[in-house]
Amino acid sequence: MDVIVIGAGVVGLSAALALQVRGLAVTVVDREGPAAGASAGNAGAFAFTDILPLASPGILRKAPKWLLDPLGPLSVPPAYALKIAPWMFRFWRACSPSRVAASTAAQTALMDLSKAELEPFLAGTGTLPMLRKDGNLQVYEGEAEFRASLPGWQAREAHGIELRHMTPEEMAEVQPGLSPRFSHGTFTPGWYSIADPKLYTLALAERFRAQGGRIEQAEAVALGDGEVRLASGGTLSAGHIVVAAGAFSHRLARTLCEAIPLETERGYNTTLPPDAFDLRTQITFGGHGFVITRLSTGIRVGGAVELGGLDLAPNYRRSEAMLRKAQSFLPGLKSEGGTQWMGFRPSLPDSLPAIGRSRTTSSVIYAFGHGHLGLTQSAGTARLVADLVTGQKPAIDLAPFSPQRF
């Protein structure tokens, strides 16, 4: 094997396919198989306009109020509060204006690359028919909430992102059925989506296998120089190893004596039947931290952030709370027959992923920590991983994404 990719989510499989295009023999290793984690249950968005980092002064202003509500947009379970304190300190430091400006510039570069790579990647993998370009409508309750959002929109406009602020009447033309409580909205047509993120990821796995790739269901527990040790006791060897194991990636990095501060944003959702609502665009309820998305397989209501690690039991009351809000925000929404889900979003304190070589051995390349943006940045990350493995100059400056930046 030329390359072993650890992780059969959308980032790992995208990287594996990009490496195949460069003529390399690739094996993907995953303890559960393709599309078993966050790649299955995300909101299905290619959020190319979402260039502002989660770590920002705005989130610091909202956080105290949100943290008081255990079912609100941001929560930390008491049982996990002490363990996550060092990560929260790094997050707080990343909210300084200078660091936010640097993170925004880096995020914009990765977004631009990912958008440029997306449609050629989809065409090359036979998945282009799954792409949708329905845009996104962000809605606000009152003048004050809308005005507070304007600096962020101005920053997006400065980077050339198309958007349109809307009155209630204009919002109703884009998306009928919204509650009159929403007095303002902003529509971004450059926000794409995929028909269904799980079916898309499974299609990538099928394409990878059809082109001669191998997917092995096994748990990687340690890394060496060109070597992956498995929980079964076996060993796999290759010239390069790509770590794209999502929220579990930092455990593998630790076996190379690298402490990368990856944390887990536990995301919740409920997927309703396709006829639950006549949804025409993705809607973001930013003041409440969740979205509602039209998939080919249903209507998905989900989002929010629970910083609770990998081991605590799911708290599905969070899914139920979002669904109750969605019913009041979209009075015609039918809430029966839904399926609940919880998944792990791998997040670093400054909202940027780790993309680059291990400090310990150049044969190991990291590609994880995309937070809410794994699907969005998957094609761009795949291009960068392929550049690194084949010794090409990376398409963008990777210094802001260095795994050693902490």
pLDDT tens column, 67-84 = 767 788 888 998 898 999
Least confident of 32-41, 50-59, 77-86, 331-340: 50-59
| Reported pTM | 0.95
Element (H, E) at 151: helix 143-158
Arithmetic mean of pLDDT over the chain? 95
Band (pLDDT 50/70/90 cuts) for residue 11 is very high
| pLDDT value of residue 64 | 75
Give the span between the Cα atoms of 406 and 403, in whole angstroms. Answer: 7
Dihedral over Cα of 28, 127, 195, 401: its sign: positive
Residue that wins the pLDDT comparison between 102 and 73: 102
DSSP structure string for 21-45: HTT--EEEEESS-TT-SHHHHS--E
Confidence check: pLDDT of 60 > 80? no
Residue-range domain boundaries for the chain: 1-55+96-131+193-262+348-406
Within 7-120, strands assigned E span: 26-30, 45-46, 74-75
pLDDT at 304 over 90: no
Distance, in Å, from the CA atom of 356 to the CA atom of 367, rounded to the nearest integer, reads: 7
pLDDT of residue 91: 93
Q: Is the pLDDT of residue 305 over 90?
A: no
Task: Work out the pLDDT band at 58, boundaries 50, 70, 90.
Answer: confident
Q: Percent of the chain scored above 70 by pLDDT?
A: 100
pLDDT tens for each residue of 367-392: 999 999 999 999 999 999 999 999 99
The order of strands in the sheet holding 26-30 is 214-217, 26-30, 3-6, 240-243, 364-368, 354-357
Which of 53, 49, 3 lies closest to 28 in space, CA to CA?
A: 3
- Structure confidence at residue 70 (pLDDT): 78
Q: In CATH, what is the architecture of 1-55+96-131+193-262+348-406?
A: 3-Layer(bba) Sandwich (3.50)
What whole-number distance in Å separates Cα of residue 117 and Cα of residue 138?
Answer: 26
Give the model confidence (pLDDT) of 125-173 as tens digits. 999 999 999 999 999 999 999 999 999 999 999 989 999 999 999 999 9
User: What whole-number distance in Å separates Cα of residue 33 and Cα of residue 384?
Assistant: 24
Unique residue bearing structure tokens 């039209």: 294
Residue 59 pLDDT grade (very low, low, confident, very high; cuts 50, 70, 90): confident
Residue 66 pLDDT more than 80? no
Tokens of 16: 């594996």
Inter-CA distances, 226 with 222, 230, 240, 394, Å: 11, 13, 6, 21
The percentage of the chain sitting over the pLDDT mark of 90, rounded to a whole number, equals: 91
Instruction: Report pLDDT digits (tens) over 275-290.
Output: 999 999 999 999 999 9
Residue 311 has pLDDT above 90, yes or no: yes
Confidence at 316, pLDDT banded by 50, 70, 90: very high
Q: Return the structure tokens found at 229.
A: 């040790």
3 state DSSP class of 251: helix
